[in-house]
Amino acid sequence: MSIVRWDPFRDVAVLQDRINRIFNESFGVSRELDDDVSLYDWRPPVDIYETTDGFILKVELAGVEKEDVSVEVKDNVLTLNGERLLDPEIKDEHYYRKERTFGKFHRSFTLQESIKPEQVKASFKNGVLTIAVPRPTEEKSEQVTVNID
């Protein structure tokens, strides 16, 4: 059994997360300052986990076509953009209930280390976008003798 140092604020952070989740579920999309959410209609949920080869991002995009999603890596920032379109054949007055969110979305994630963008791989299956971000390869520094003129 390991001994863990007591942190009196750990429970407060958990409580704050629960309160934030209640507000987000009750009043729609959260308005975080770091993510320009106010410009977009919704935020797809994302799971991020680590593997031996790097990191995996799984993005839930039910009802979104692969052609309506873009994944870009620039300056150590992985950016997802896309749009879930409303079925134009169904008129608003015909709905009894409409809970799914439609429109444009945008998510950005800062990568911890410098990676080569061409090594990032993405696949789309059953409404889930899976992005594999490999660990950066360590470039070994070489010792070079410099001639003095």
Please tell me the predicted confidence (pLDDT) of residue 49. 94
pLDDT band at 32; cut points 50, 70, 90: very low
* Helix extents (H) in the chain: 10-27
Of 5-9, 80-84, 105-109, the range with the lowest mean pLDDT is 5-9
Specify the pTM.
0.66
Q: What is the mean pLDDT of residues 69-98?
A: 89
Please tell me the predicted confidence (pLDDT) of residue 105. 93
Is the pLDDT higher at 112 or at 59?
Answer: 59
Q: What is the mean pLDDT of residues 53-70?
A: 94
Rounded to whole angstroms, what are the CA distances from 77 to 86, 109, 111, 113? 29, 6, 6, 10
Each domain of the chain, given as residue ranges in start order, spans 31-134
As a whole number of angstroms, the distance between CA 13 and CA 60 comes to 26
Q: Which CATH architecture has domain 31-134?
A: Sandwich (2.60)
Whether the per-residue pLDDT at 21 is higher than 50: the answer is yes
Whether the per-residue pLDDT at 61 is higher than 50: the answer is yes
